[in-house]
Amino acid sequence: MRATSYSHNNRLSLLHRGDEFFPALVLAIDSAHSEIYLETYIFSLDVTGHHVKAALMRAAARGVNVHVLVDWLGTGEMATLELRKDLEAAGIRFACFNPWFRRGLARLHRKIVVIDRRLAFLGGLNINDDLVSDDTLHVQLPAPRWDFAISISGPLVDALHAEVASLWARQQPQGLRRRLQNLRQQYATRLKPLQEVAQAALVIRDNLRNRHAIQRAFLQALGHAHHKAWLVTPYFAPGRKLRKALMHAAERGVSVTLLIGVGQFRLQDAVAQSFYPQLLSVGVRIIEYRKTQLHAKVAVIDELWSTVGSSNFDGLSLFVNHEANIIVRDEEFARILRDAIIQGVHEGVPVILEEVKKYSWARRVFNRFAYLIYKSVFQIVSAGRYTK
């Protein structure tokens, strides 16, 4: 089991929504001198996407070595083709992750940018407009999408650079011998003793070295929680272990608040609602965020441990996709993130147990049916790990 490796002396800044994230990202790209790695699930060809693309092209024109990796499913086939054409014409190296599911079901869901090995960004924000839904409908949102990213400078950037460079290399054509060498190197890295100290750490989930890393980090944090736990996710459909961890924390007297996005996918909402009675009955407080699209994947526990990243609380993020979170152990950072979460809670709608008990029989049956279908699919996709 791979330990979480923390580092000191990192400088972190929380970025809320695209109006804070994208100006900081474009400024950093325009300040790049030697190298840029950008990974994203969605790279839309909207106004925001064109601003970021133009900044990347300006960097390439200055001689910066630019690498862009997008997910084929998230970005879309047509947008991927157009991006490849425009970026490669500008001298940018471009790759598409797992086109046509040729390497299985896993998607590149993480969002990471590393610039000159000195500055990095990580979080939940894709490269797309904050006021347009990120699904196939592309509807206008009533308010900017509710999401977070984090900018990072310091020793942790080295870990992020190593991770993005490694994934980029694996997208390139490689012979069998080279692939076997990469596998040996990755497993050797896994076995090295890691120093566990305070401050900040990169935690990733993939299907080779780190299958359970992000879920394990949440389980450990909840297992050691004493006072309060604030958790935010747009899609709530975790396996049994994580649901039990939330319930056990509440039963121990921890104040557990779960802020969930609703209204985007009917089936996803039904799966989440199938858990409501059990969670509410042990004291977990559930808030539905309906003001706009909630896309944040963040948490604060005991006003010390916090995380910002790309991992949802669902089967795809915890058992299938490539994800990346930053874990921070710092009271001031936790306070800032907690205050932002509390604001979201105030904007949300509490779910009341008595009202849940009054759901019609048809709604209860549909919620249960949705969960059973979801569970059956992810038992197959995750080789049985989803319900453990």
Could you list the active site residues? 109, 111, 116, 295, 297, 302
CA dihedral 129, 132, 133, 135 (to 10 degrees): -70
C-alpha span between 126 and 229 (Å, rounded)? 26
Tally Cβ neighbours within 10 Å of residue 365.
11
C-alpha span between 38 and 49 (Å, rounded)? 13
Shortest CA distance to 241 belongs to which of 260, 256, 223, 224?
Answer: 223
- CB–CB of 35/120 below 8 Å? no
- CB–CB of 323/203 below 8 Å? no
- CB–CB of 350/286 below 8 Å? yes
In the 8-state DSSP scheme, what is residue 382? T
For 301, residues 6+ apart whose C-beta sits below 8 A from its C-beta are 221, 222, 225, 228, 229, 230
- CB–CB of 97/72 below 8 Å? yes
C-alpha span between 259 and 206 (Å, rounded)? 26
